[in-house]
Structure 1
Amino acid sequence: MTTAWLAEGASTSNPLINTGVFALFVAITLYVVYRAGNRRSSTSGYYTADSAFTGRQNGVALSGDFLSAASFLGIAGAIAINGYDGFLYSIGFLVAWLVDLLLLAELLRNTGRFTMGDVLSFRMKQRPVRAASATSTLVISFFYMLAQMAGAGGLVALLLDVHSKWGQALVITVVGLVMISYVLLGGMKGTTWVQIIKATILLTAASLITVFLMGKYGFNFSSLLRAAADRSHMGKDLLSPGGSYGKNGTTKLDFVSLSLALVLGVASLPHVLMRFYTVPNAREARRSVVWATACMFVFYLCTLVIGFGAAAIVGPDEIKAAPGGENSAAPLLALHVGGTVLLGIISAVAFATILAVVAGLTLTASASFAHDVYANVLKRGKAEPEDEVRVARLTAVVIGVFAIVGGILANGQNIAFLVALALAVAASANLSTLLYSLFWKRFNTTGTLWSIYGGLIACVVLVLFSPVVSGASDSIFPSVDFHWFPLKNPGLVSIPVSFLCGAIGTFVGRSKGDPAKHAEMEVRSLTGVGFGS
């Protein structure tokens, strides 16, 4: 089917159906958020929903928090265009949850209350460590939001046939405003229920499309793969490694760097870490990760079928020519197999994905600033709960504005790739610090600050001077070239730098750490005794 047909179909379809389905979802979820939201000025209620969710509920919400536009739109598009190499994102995301389960989930639940700063500052000087933790949380959340907001722009460009940058910018602004409303109205409780609803709808939609596609090819996956390879310009190479990352030595290194970021970054994402505080104990935290992993295992199997199905039925030419580029593969597949109504439903699901994830990110970033910076740095732990919640809500508005501006600038990039950048920043700033804090007795305040700021600065600088920002046709600023770092993902360099900085800072620092505090933290992390005191 040709691109001309698509343009004609998009223009003659009724946009009221598409936007109506989306508006209905927004209205329902806003009502749920309002009814479920905790409007008391309680910090535990606003940040962690009073730890009242079960492991199963939190696990589904975790999958909803993590199965972002990158998973649904970006990975499906990457598989449709690049085949085998595109599926590597799914494998990396799934393996990452095993790292989270084995290394961090239970220990973090036992040693913190609201934010990652609670864990990192337990043995260290409170004010500088909390400020550093909040800084990394804000930067990581901003990078992650870029992917979601860019996905919103590309999706609506396809849904309403909006080709102008100004039109897409307006749509990104509307999505940002709705997301801010979720956070202001519902806090963690309302946001969690939105994520549960969204995860259920997303898994259902992906499963139904997968069953339809498998049925179309006689439930023979090999037939689907052959059809995808026949339609692709890559031919049989679509099914082999190296289509995207095997062209030369630099792209192979980029693949290693991407893999490190995917596997190590998830365990360091602030909005994922904060979810462990919404359950009552460590056992439920472990159950959360098991449920989240199971949900994502099913979903990523579906994206494999959807991606190759888009390659076989839609074709790479039509996908690349669509307003959203690679990110349009799944919606275009819905248009081809189910017409305008299915396109509206799938687009509404994708929008729900974006809204729920960005709401979770905004809540985490605003909570980190209010709890770590305002309450514990500026007010030295003496802030009133209602003042802290008010600051969190004001911060959510500010963060939402920055996310809208950043999403407009990043519009058009592959969103799975943008999320991989956020994961690289998370792994560079947080992973080494968390592991050192939990397991290294000598680790001290100097080492904490060096590992956070060293990894964060190294990663952000390398991204700024990489082909992501300038020097390539798909850069954010393609008309200029000031890049000198050859890799698109900096994880291969920045993650080891953060571990090295933490070790050097520890030995350079005068303090050798507090053995009594380390012993207490070790007991808490392994048993949960003393939690919340």
Structure 2
Amino acid sequence: MTVQLAAGATGNPAINVGIFLAFVAVTLFIVYKVSSSSPTASDYYAAGSAFNGVQNGVALSGDFLSAASFLGISGAIAVHGYDGFLYSVGWVVAWLVALLLIGERLRNTGRFTVGDVMAFRMKQRPVRAAAANATLVITFFYMLAQMAGAGGLIALLLHVQSKGGQALIITGVGAVMVFYVLVGGMKGTTWVQIVKATLLLLCVTLIGVFLLGKFGFSFSQILEHAAQNSPSGERILDPGAWYGKNAITELDFVSLALSLVLGISSLPHVLMRFYTVPNAKEARSSVVWCSWAMVIFYLGILVVGYGATALVGSDTILRAPGGENSAAPLLAFKIGGEVLLGIVCAVAFATILAVVAGLTLAAAASFAHDVYANVVRNGDADPRSEVRVARLTAVVIGCLAIVGGIVANGQNVAFLVSLALALAASANLSTMLYTLYWKRFNTTGTLWSIYGGLASCLVLIIFSPAISGTPTSIVKSVDFHWFPLTNPGIVSIPLSFLCGYLGTVFSKQPADPGKQAEMEVRALTGLGVKL
């Protein structure tokens, strides 16, 4: 049974679901096999630091090659053209920040969470609490994007048009994700990421090569047909179709670019992955392998996005139940029928499951390790009880992700991720860099930096066109926005640096020279690293 593309539903639901369930069964088996029946905190949070640079690099790319990359960017390119591709340019460049400034020193100075580094030479309780709060907020926003992608896929994959039906299946996706985290911990989640990233790279590469072959291995031919099949015409090939309408949208693009480039190296679930390798050398290797995977993937997505415009058409994509997020699945159905659609949707679902599992684990680890073990128990928590708290936290976070995904269903997932990146860069980047490189930085500066960046970014997002006031806002029935930009990074990121500086300068609290010296030696040499 197939139906017309214009109707917004494609393929045979039985085939689609069968392929997806087969993938879930395989990954659940992997998670079960690699999981430990009685994991230590090191096993659960950092997989015992047992992965090498190649494995962690592929998993690292899997952590970030999410629904935003596969569904959101391909859809953004298909509908908006050049401006949509600029998302991926920012994300590839962003890994240089992690490689040159953060990855190695983070691995040497922390153990399980971002809070380990931020609190290393500060007062433990207030800083760890602040780091955990920031992690939970950032993780929730990032989860919204993944679950929104799940909603769009569900609508297309199962022909489910009703919001209630989509909500039920989003709940099922969330339940599988929680199971990954509860049973497998970091080791199981990492192997799922490796499998998912490999399948995603193969899928995008093969579709890209097929599209090039269909157009005589001429990318110019794909672009020409895309321009003919888009309401924007030739403008889809030039900058400005999305962000070039006026001075406000141009400034919005600068703000977006700042968030994309600086946000990746501040994401808690990405930073946690540096603890899964045994030393700084493997951490550097991880970023190099991840960067190459990202370059290959985004070159393929460029072909897939414009190929979707050329063969499916922007109007058809926008009319589909998932909107822009439906570009890649619709293209798969166009060129390969029901089986390829099922494979692409299964890979996309796997992407969502794996990324949300990584996010859930990061949030659970931050609460259990930073708040429970070091704030509530003053650093004297039993490792087994800490893991139990992490698992309970994972269930709570999974439920919140399901509710948030139902609310955000239908939004472009790449755009939603850009908001999470703005929050991450605002709360974490300045704090991490000051902690690692500024000797005078102290506890007051740390708290001002985290809360100043996080609060300002949250306020600007809430009162921006992303939430209300436009046809594409999350809340369409009311208009309470006063901030003109959809992404607040251009304001909140510099403000977080300023808050950290002013908090340190005006505070009478001196930095601890002994702890600062210990941190510097450990960051540069790796001496004293705990595995």
Structure 2-normalised TM-score? 0.99
Q: Secondary structure at the match of 1:10?
A: coil
* Number of corresponding residues: 530
2:67–2:348 contact (8 Å) kept in structure 1 = yes
Whether the 8 Å CA contact 1:39–1:186 is kept in 2: the answer is no
Picking from 198, 201, 217, the partner of 1:200 is 198
Of residues 70, 73, 90 in structure 2, which corresponds to 1:72?
A: 70
> 1:145 maps to which residue?
143
Counterpart position of 1:5:
4
Q: 1: CA distance between counterparts of 2:78 and 2:482?
A: 30
Q: Which residue of 2 aligns with 1:289?
A: 287
- Partners of 2:477 and 2:442 in 1: CA distance: 45
Aligned partner of residue 219 in structure 1, secondary structure:
coil
Question: Which residue is equivalent to 2:99?
Answer: 101
1:259 equivalent to 2:257? Answer: yes
Cα offset, 1:85, TM superposition: 0.2
Which of 504, 508, 516 is the aligned partner of 1:518?
Answer: 516
Shift of 1:119: 0.5
> Residue 279 of structure 1: which of 277, 280, 283 is its match?
277
Map Cα deviations across residues 280-334 of structure 1 (whole Å, 9 max, x no partner): 0000000000000000100000000000000000001100000000000000000
Cα offset for 1:38?
2.2
* 1:148 shift after superposition: 0.1
- List per-residue Cα deviations over 1:385-412 (Å, max 9, x = no partner): 0000000000000000000001111111
Number of the residue aligned with 1:449 = 447
- Determine the structure 2 residue equivalent to 1:415: 413
- Is 1:162 the counterpart of 2:173? The answer is no
Query: Does the 8 Å CA contact 2:7/2:320 hold for their aligned counterparts?
Result: no
Post-superposition Cα deviations, 1:452-506, rounded to whole Å, max 9, x if no partner, equal 0000000011000001111111111111001000100000000011001101111
Counterpart residue number, 1:507? 505
The CA distance in 2 between the partners of 1:396 and 1:256, in whole Å, is 35
1:419 partner amino acid: V
Which whole-Å deviations, capped at 9, do the CAs of 1:323-361 have from their partners, x for residues lacking one?
A: 000000000000101111111110000000000000000
**Residue 114 (1) aligns with residue 127 (2):** no
Quote the Cα distance in structure 2 between the aligned partners of 1:39 and 1:101: 35
In 2, Cα distance between the equivalents of 1:87 and 1:327? 14
What's 1:28 paired with? Answer: 26
- CA deviation after TM superposition for structure 1 residue 39, in Å: 2.5
User: For 2:3 and 2:367, how far apart are their aligned partners in 1?
Assistant: 49
Give me the TM-score of the superposition, normalised by structure 1. 0.98
Q: Among 9, 13, 16, which residue is 2:14 paired with? A: 16
Answer whether contact 1:41 1:385 (CA < 8 A) is retained.
Answer: no
Residue 456 of structure 2: which of 455, 458, 475 is its match? 458
* 2:263 counterpart letter in structure 1: G
Letter of the 1:514 counterpart: D
Is residue 143–residue 421 contact of structure 1 (8 Å, CA) maintained in 2?
A: yes
**Quick one: which amino acid aligns to residue 493 of structure 1?**
V
1:386 & 1:301 partners in 2: Cα distance? Answer: 45
Aligned to 2:435: 437
TM-aligned CA distance change 1:4 to 1:47, over 3 Å: closer
* Contact 1:172 1:408 survives alignment (8 Å): yes
Match of 2:465 in 1: 467
Shift of 1:162: 1.1
Tell me, in whole angstroms, the C-alpha distance in 2 between the residues paired with 1:160 and 1:356.
21
Distance 1:126 1:39 in 2: 31
Q: Distance in 1 between matches of 2:76 and 2:126?
A: 41
Q: CA deviation at 1:532?
A: 1.8
Per-residue deviation, 1:507: 1.5
Structure 1 residue ranges, 4+ long, deviating more than 6 angstroms after superposition:
none
Which residues of 2 match residues 118-517 of structure 1 at below 5 A? Answer: 118-517=116-515
Q: Percent identity?
A: 70
Give the residue type in structure 2 aligned to 1:525. Answer: A
**Alignment RMSD:** 1.2
Partner of 2:51: helix, strand, or coil? coil
Q: SS of the counterpart of 1:124? A: coil
Q: 1:99 Cα deviation (Å)?
A: 1.0
| Structure 2, unaligned runs of 5 or more | none
Give ranges in structure 1 of 5+ residues lacking alignment.
none
Q: Partners in 2 of 1:250 and 1:147 — Cα distance?
A: 24
**Cα offset for 1:8?**
6.0
Q: Secondary structure at the match of 2:129?
A: helix
